[in-house]
Amino acid sequence: MERLSGLDASFLYLESRSQLMHIIGLIELDPNTVEGGYSFEKMRDELERRIAGLPTFRRKLRDSILNIDHPVWVEDRNFDIESHVHRVAVPSPGGRTELADFCAHIAGVPLDRSKPLWEMWVIEGLADGKIAVLLRMHHAGVDGVTASDLLAKLCTFSPETPELDEESLSHSAGDASLAGLAVDGALQVARRPLSFARLLPKTAQVPFDWIARALRNEAMPLPFRAPRTPFNGSITGHRSMAYTQVSLADIKRIKNQFGVKINDVVLSVCAGALRGYLDDLGELPDKPLVAMVPVSVHGDNDDDLVTQGTNKVTGMFTKLATDIEDPVQRITTVGEQVRKSKEHHGSMDSNLFRGWAQFVPSATMGVAMRLYASQELAEKHPVLYNLVISNVAGPDFPLYYLGAKIEAMYPLGPVFHGAGMNITVFSQDGQLNIGVIACKEHVPDPWPLMQAFEDEVKTLLEACD
């Protein structure tokens, strides 16, 4: 068995019917490259063959009233691929609007916790003859990096069917008896006082360092200081979704012209798109929006008393300069803001957030979230941050998913009460894929935001000239 870390488990405790905690990947595929021709049954059978060596896809949650710590992952001895892989066709004319509407509907449906926490929808009927795959995985089991790694294991450099590693076929998520679950849980909890003693002095220093940096104008923006927008309130379970694709070469050209990082260009383009979108609605605030940017800490030296599990990510706050009209001035300002935020975030111990997450109580957290949602408290306190923006670097070469060539890949993250929009950017094979998912009541039509994203790239390219 593998016990969930506090951060992993918190995504279970935070989940409700309106606040769903799964990560989504929408993949557009060319089925003409599949050996012997594409069929749904062939794709499903090949997936079953490959995940025989990937226990992450076969593990499910196990808990007990005797367990006083977080749940564990165990092997699903009754795993059935047909319970996870589904086939559907989008309605005519099968364009990107119909595809996005279907994916948004599925994004608003909870995953079944009695089974391994993932599912895949193979989507046919697209107007261009391609197929799409919608993959959902619960955030308790993956973060952005591990989700990309798992997806990569289902991909190859050519359409030929690969041989499987014999050793990987023997891997299992394990099992847990009720007694073993209870004893191990008690041992984990017994270590908490030592973890608390080590975390407390490090945490106590954080506000003093933050204030000192703020006085030098070298700090991240403070939480609960973001302006309110239409998507900063209590959310429902309904989702809206849109996506687009721009040339990565264009993004690199902008980067080189203005002497910034690719991530700075992404954040600046998002800022310009959000500014235009909100201005058209008559809802553009005077203060700059604040984004929470997930930062992976995979590969860091973990403290085994406070960190374990799958999710190894922290959050960095940064201003988006949406109050600046000129795109050239905006990208320069965003680059400077991100530099300050990175230096500030980098000076903090990456173990602190994950360490305190170990102390998250399941029952109390669940009750608190239900109360928070039912009382619509997100409208009654200052905005923590406006939205999540993730930028994930992918492979800059062609890949084949179960034999079908990947044309585009759009990852999408969860949305939260108080921050009902998530923009995720993924670079892959010379393209920058941008996906937005939001609470439908707050953002009923996100396509203008994607058009604004494309327009902002064109504007910056013209500025390069």
Residues annotated as catalytic are 139
**Count of beta carbons in the 10 Å neighbourhood of residue 119:** 20
CA-based nearest residue to 418, from 224, 190, 232, 150: 232
Q: Please give the Cα distance from 408 to 428 (Å, whole number).
A: 7
Given a contact cutoff of 8 angstroms between Cβ atoms, the answer to whether 400 and 33 are in contact is yes
Residue 68 has which token pair? 């006083």
CA-based nearest residue to 28, from 82, 110, 83, 90: 90
Q: Please give the Cα distance from 134 to 59 (Å, whole number).
A: 20
Between strands 431-439 and 22-30, the pairing is: unpaired
- What residue has token string 């999408």? 412
Neighbouring-strand partners of residue 393: 427
Given a contact cutoff of 8 angstroms between Cβ atoms, the answer to whether 281 and 230 are in contact is yes
Which are the contacts of 364, defined by CB distance < 8 A and separation ≥ 6? none
- What residue has token string 């990096």? 145
Given a contact cutoff of 8 angstroms between Cβ atoms, the answer to whether 397 and 363 are in contact is no
Which are the contacts of 242, defined by CB distance < 8 A and separation ≥ 6? 100, 435, 436, 446, 447, 449, 450
| Radius of gyration in angstroms for the set of CA atoms belonging to the chain, rounded to a whole number | 22
- What residue has token string 């680059």? 335
Q: Mapping DSSP to helix (H, G, I), strand (E, B) and coil, where does residue 229 land?
A: coil
Residue 339 has which token pair? 């530099």
Q: Mapping DSSP to helix (H, G, I), strand (E, B) and coil, where does residue 118 land?
A: strand
Q: Please give the Cα distance from 328 to 258 (Å, whole number).
A: 8
Q: Please give the Cα distance from 138 to 365 (Å, whole number).
A: 18
- What residue has token string 């945490």? 203
Element (H, E) at 212: helix 192-215
Given a contact cutoff of 8 angstroms between Cβ atoms, the answer to whether 421 and 320 are in contact is no
In Å, what is the CA distance from 67 to each residue of 71, 177, 181?
8, 11, 6
**Count of beta carbons in the 10 Å neighbourhood of residue 465:** 5
